[in-house]
């Protein structure tokens, strides 16, 4: 199995080191002995492996790396007495990091990429998949499949070296994951040491599987989180993810322990001799004590797969955990590498998604909620109904037009649907069972929270409360201001904000900066230490960068992306406030509508006052994006680039950072002002637009060449 890649991908698609050479030969005048040189080379290669794979900061190009490796191999061939079993030339995969090099929070490279699966949604698509497989395999009569349940959790990788868990990592982007060994080791289904019978010195075994949280545990933890006044998690998957990324800290109360589970189901890198079929591999895992999902099926053909899927489509609620479909794999693993992969997905397996779950219940009322921008949203109040692993009591109706379109009346039987992670929505009314006692719903003319008249702008479906001091809006704007991607003020959650408003301790975001620990202790009967913590968090938020501040202000149409664009073009908040609409609209990616909305926001006297009070409180919005763009007179100075699609090696943020530090600008949309569009795989409309406007399209490699890093 040594170099066998189960997904048919070779490591040559892995990211390449990109930095300039720093490696120097030792002084030639005192030529080292072969033994000394071998020693030096091994140390250097180990170091570069670590720099590249663990620290993600390579110092030499891969060409130079190959040369060092070739020199070492040549020396070892010439002097066999110098060859050792642990030489980088002998390593199963010299790329994989050694155990001691992998610290929490660092990144590791998955030497066998963790690919994602293509999806199918109905039996027809499964039959097409089967037909394609047979065609590629030269037309066997039937192909045998193993079907496993698709658990809604997080894919992880566990690397055992010399029989011990060397590290555990997240899937990440499939090529690089984050090391989370300490948190994985807490999962009771994760072995930190292999059984004695499996221990072999110098051997590696990488197992993969899904970490998830059972529904009952999710509800228990969420109840505790809510009781503590914090925001509960939307679903078990998010809570499991949060738990896996938790910073290591001792759990003082055993009830705070969040119990996760894991099912093992796949193999990464290994030099173990393992059963050649997926079914055999799962049995092997089971026999050796690894937690494997007992719900699996060996199917002689695709029709058996479809029958099995139909069974679970209805039985899925009997399980203590959430499942959103099945994974269908060819049983014979030797065929996997033969079939290879297309784009990001292996051809030998496919996911099958169950249809979105629906339930019928009674709509008992329609109430309106008021959001941060004053938007009033009708929400259906339902008779509690169990759907997709949780009890649903509310469903979205989006806006007043939607209520009219559905012709939904109070007392109606309705069908609600929950697809993926989105909040449930009302799909339709079961009007065949109407009794005539249902009440038509009349949209309110005034705000349900402050009774100001509601307004509806032309060509907008949204109805708004225009009262800027509407308590609902103030509450939502405070929560938005404190949220993670805005000013990131931890501890300022729902309950606390509610209390602060109720007691009049704050009226708007600027008031936050005059809060003292005593205030908090009074309004929320908060412990001294946590009160001091929250005030400390508020204090720290003064230094958040300008783009966070712009997003936090909650200007309509200004999301995180636009906030970045603005911060890249205006050095200070005052510069931005003084900008004319034309200057704003001239920023690539900012259109007329946004420009108008921004100007209107700053023109509103109340907002202008709010900002000057924030500035008096020391909230200045330092602007790293501006300095990054302007101080560098790099190879891309003055140029605007647009990124689209998935780049082969760089993540989008990485590419953007490189462009910025080379003096260039990154824009969110293509226009005539765009100098280059960097297109990766699955580039969409931006690529079309570039072609139409005649903007030059380049690849990641060409970008790197322009940056002078090759
Ligand atoms: Zn209102």
Average pLDDT, the chain: 83
Residues 588 and 410: their CA atoms lie apart, in Å, by 47
Sequence ranges of the domains in the chain: 11-95, 119-353, 357-455, 471-543, 546-626, 632-706
Predicted local distance difference test score (pLDDT) of residue 630: 54
Residues 348 and 330: their CA atoms lie apart, in Å, by 6
- Range 357-455 classified under CATH 2.40.50.140: yes
Pairing label, strands 413-418, 463-465: unpaired
Residues 128 and 701: their CA atoms lie apart, in Å, by 36
Cα 456 to ligand 1 centre (Å): 14
Same fold, 119-353 and 546-626: no
Contact yes or no for 677/698 (Cβ under 8 A): yes
Cα 474 to ligand 1 centre (Å): 9
The single residue listed with the structure tokens 């899927």 is 309
Highest mean pLDDT among 284-288, 457-461, 686-690: 284-288
Neighbouring C-beta atoms of residue 642, cutoff 10 Å: 25
How is domain 632-706 classified at the CATH fold level?
Rossmann fold (3.40.50)
Question: How many residues does this entry show for the chain?
Answer: 710
Taking the CA atoms of 321, 325, 330 and 335 in sequence, report the sign of the dihedral they define.
Answer: negative
Whether the predicted interface score ipTM is above 0.95:
yes
User: For residue 481, what are its two tokens?
Assistant: 């201001």
Name the catalytic one among 106, 150, 665, 686. Answer: 150
**What is the helix (H) or strand (E) element at residue 659, kind and residue range?**
helix 652-661
Cα 380 to ligand 1 centre (Å): 19
Cα 372 to ligand 1 centre (Å): 10
| Tens digit of each residue's pLDDT (9 = 90 or more) over 560-608 | 878 888 998 888 999 999 988 888 888 877 878 888 889 988 988 888 9
Residues 373 and 464: their CA atoms lie apart, in Å, by 8
Its CATH architecture, for the domain 471-543, is Orthogonal Bundle (1.10)
Cα 578 to ligand 1 centre (Å): 30
Neighbouring C-beta atoms of residue 41, cutoff 10 Å: 20
630 is catalytic: no
CATH of the domain spanning 11-95, picked from 1.20.120.450, 2.60.40.10, 3.40.50.740, 1.10.287.610 = 1.10.287.610
| Tens digit of each residue's pLDDT (9 = 90 or more) over 362-375 | 999 999 988 887 88
Residues 691 and 695: their CA atoms lie apart, in Å, by 6
Cα 367 to ligand 1 centre (Å): 14
Cα 505 to ligand 1 centre (Å): 20
How is domain 546-626 classified at the CATH fold level?
DNA polymerase; domain 1 (1.10.150)
Query: In the structure, what pLDDT confidence band is assigned to residue 329 with cuts at 50, 70 and 90?
Result: very high
Cα 465 to ligand 1 centre (Å): 5
Residues 14 and 138: their CA atoms lie apart, in Å, by 30
Taking the CA atoms of 464, 466, 469 and 474 in sequence, report the sign of the dihedral they define.
Answer: positive
Cα 473 to ligand 1 centre (Å): 7
Pairing label, strands 676-679, 696-698: parallel
Contact yes or no for 543/536 (Cβ under 8 A): no
Beta bridge partners of 160: 165, 205
| Tens digit of each residue's pLDDT (9 = 90 or more) over 410-420 | 999 999 987 65
- In the predicted structure, residue 404 carries a pLDDT above the cut 80: yes
SS3 78: helix
How is domain 119-353 classified at the CATH fold level?
D-amino Acid Aminotransferase; Chain A, domain 1 (3.30.470)
User: For residue 391, what are its two tokens?
Assistant: 């009890």
User: For residue 18, what are its two tokens?
Assistant: 């990109």
Residues 400 and 392: their CA atoms lie apart, in Å, by 21
């Amino acid at each position: 199995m040594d170099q066998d890649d189960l997904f048919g991908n070779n490591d040559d698609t892995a990211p390449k080191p990109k930095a300039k050479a720093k490696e120097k030969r030792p002084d030639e005048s005192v030529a080292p002995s072969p033994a000394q040189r071998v020693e030096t080379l091994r140390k250097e290669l180990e170091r570069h492996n670590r720099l590249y794979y663990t620290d993600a900061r390579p110092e030499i190009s891969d060409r130079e790396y190959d040369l060092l490796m070739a020199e070492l191999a040549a020396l070892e061939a010439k002097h066999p007495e110098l060859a050792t079993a642990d030489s980088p030339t002998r390593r199963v995969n010299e790329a994989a990091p050694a155990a001691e090099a992998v610290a929490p929070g660092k990144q590791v490279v998955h030497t066998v990429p963790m690919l994602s699966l293509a999806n199918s949604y109905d039996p027809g698509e499964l039959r097409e998949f089967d037909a394609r497989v047979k065609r590629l395999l030269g037309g066997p009569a039937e192909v045998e499949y193993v079907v496993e349940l698709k658990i809604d959790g997080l894919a992880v990788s566990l690397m055992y070296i010399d029989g011990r868990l060397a590290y555990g990592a997240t899937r990440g982007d499939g090529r690089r994951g984050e090391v989370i060994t300490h948190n994985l080791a807490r999962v009771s289904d994760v072995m930190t040491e292999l059984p004695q019978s499996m221990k072999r010195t110098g051997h590696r075994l990488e197992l993969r599987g899904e970490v998830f949280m059972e529904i009952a545990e999710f509800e228990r933890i969420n109840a505790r989180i809510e009781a503590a006044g914090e925001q509960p998690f939307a679903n078990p998957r998010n809570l499991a993810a949060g738990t896996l990324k938790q910073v290591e800290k001792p759990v003082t109360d055993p009830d705070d322990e969040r119990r996760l589970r894991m099912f093992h189901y796949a193999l990464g890198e290994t030099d173990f001799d393992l059963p050649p079929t997926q079914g055999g591999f799962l049995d092997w895992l089971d026999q050796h004590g690894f937690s494997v999902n007992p719900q699996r099926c060996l199917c002689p053909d695709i029709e058996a797969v479809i029958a099995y899927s139909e069974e679970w489509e209805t039985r899925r609620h009997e399980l203590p955990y959430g499942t959103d479909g099945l994974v269908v794999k060819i049983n014979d693993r030797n065929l996997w590498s033969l079939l290879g992969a297309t784009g990001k997905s292996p051809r030998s397996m496919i996911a099958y998604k169950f249809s979105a779950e629906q339930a019928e219940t009674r709509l008992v009322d329609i109430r309106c909620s008021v959001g941060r921008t004053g938007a009033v949203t009708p929400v259906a109040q339902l008779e509690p109904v169990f759907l997709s692993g949780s009890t649903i009591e509310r469903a979205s109706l989006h806006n007043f037009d939607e209520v009219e379109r559905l012709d939904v009346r109070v007392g109606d039987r309705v069908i609600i649907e929950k697809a993926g992670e989105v909040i449930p929505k009302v799909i339709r009314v079961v009007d065949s069972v109407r009794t005539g006692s249902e009440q038509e719903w009349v949209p309110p003319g005034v705000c349900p929270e402050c009774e100001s008249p509601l307004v509806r702008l032309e060509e907008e479906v949204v109805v708004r409360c225009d009262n800027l001091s509407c308590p609902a809006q103030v509450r939502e704007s405070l929560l938005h201001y404190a949220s993670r991607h805005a000013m990131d003020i931890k501890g300022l959650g729902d309950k606390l904000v509610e209390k602060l408003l109720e007691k009049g301790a704050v009226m708007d975001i600027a008031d936050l900066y005059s809060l003292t620990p005593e205030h908090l202790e009074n309004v929320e009967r908060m412990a001294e230490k946590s009160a001091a913590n929250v005030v400390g968090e508020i204090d720290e938020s003064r230094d958040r960068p300008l783009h966070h501040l712009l997003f936090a202000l909650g200007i309509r149409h200004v999301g995180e992306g636009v906030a970045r664009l603005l911060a890249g073009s205006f050095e200070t908040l005052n510069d931005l406030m003084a900008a004319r609409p034309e200057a704003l609209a001239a920023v690539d990616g900012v259109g007329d509508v946004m420009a108008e909305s921004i100007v209107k926001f700053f023109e509103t006297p109340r907002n202008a006052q709010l900002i000057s009070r924030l500035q008096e409180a020391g909230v200045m919005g330092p602007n790293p994006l501006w300095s990054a763009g302007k101080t560098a007179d790099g190879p891309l100075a003055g140029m605007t680039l647009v990124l689209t699609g998935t780049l082969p090696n760089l993540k989008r943020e990485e590419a953007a950072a490189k462009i910025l530090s080379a003096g260039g600008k990154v824009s969110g949309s293509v226009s005539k002002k765009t100098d280059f569009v960097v297109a990766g795989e699955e580039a969409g409309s931006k690529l079309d637009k570039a072609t139409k406007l005649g903007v030059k399209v380049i690849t990641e490699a060409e970008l790197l060449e322009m940056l002078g890093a090759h």
